[in-house]
Amino acid sequence: MQSLDVEQLARICGGADVGTPPDPSNPSFGRCGPGTGMKFLGNVYTPECTAHDQAVNDAQKKGAPYWLANVEAIPKLPAAVYSYFRARITGR
């Protein structure tokens, strides 16, 4: 079992943002979670979530519809999900 200090617990509960958007003009790019909805997830930006979003964008640029672009980006999803929890717990 791992103990969490108050700061770590606040991050898990949505009390702190982690990271910064790679492109401030598009706050949903690189954010962990679907777009900027689901506010309860907080604003967590990780390189892995950015890589997943980039994979979606790349597939769309090649002509894939949005839903198929997300299917094609599934291989990047486990790392993105893990990075969200890592960032929430460690702040990095």
pLDDT digits (tens, 9 = 90+) for 23-72: 888 889 999 998 888 888 889 999 999 999 999 999 999 999 999 999 99
Q: Which region, left, alpha or beta, applies to residue 3 given φ > 0 means left and ψ of -120 to 50 means alpha? A: beta
Check pLDDT > 60 for residue 13.
no
Residue 80 confidence class, pLDDT cut points 50, 70, 90? very high
Q: How far apart are CA 24 and CA 13, in angstroms?
A: 24
Pull the structure tokens for residue 85: 């929890």
Mean pLDDT of 74-90: 95
Check pLDDT > 80 for residue 14.
no
| Cβ within 8 Å of residue 47, ≥6 positions away | 83
- Predicted pLDDT of residue 92: 80
- Predicted pLDDT of residue 12: 56
- Predicted pLDDT of residue 91: 84
Q: How far apart are CA 78 and CA 91, in angstroms?
A: 19
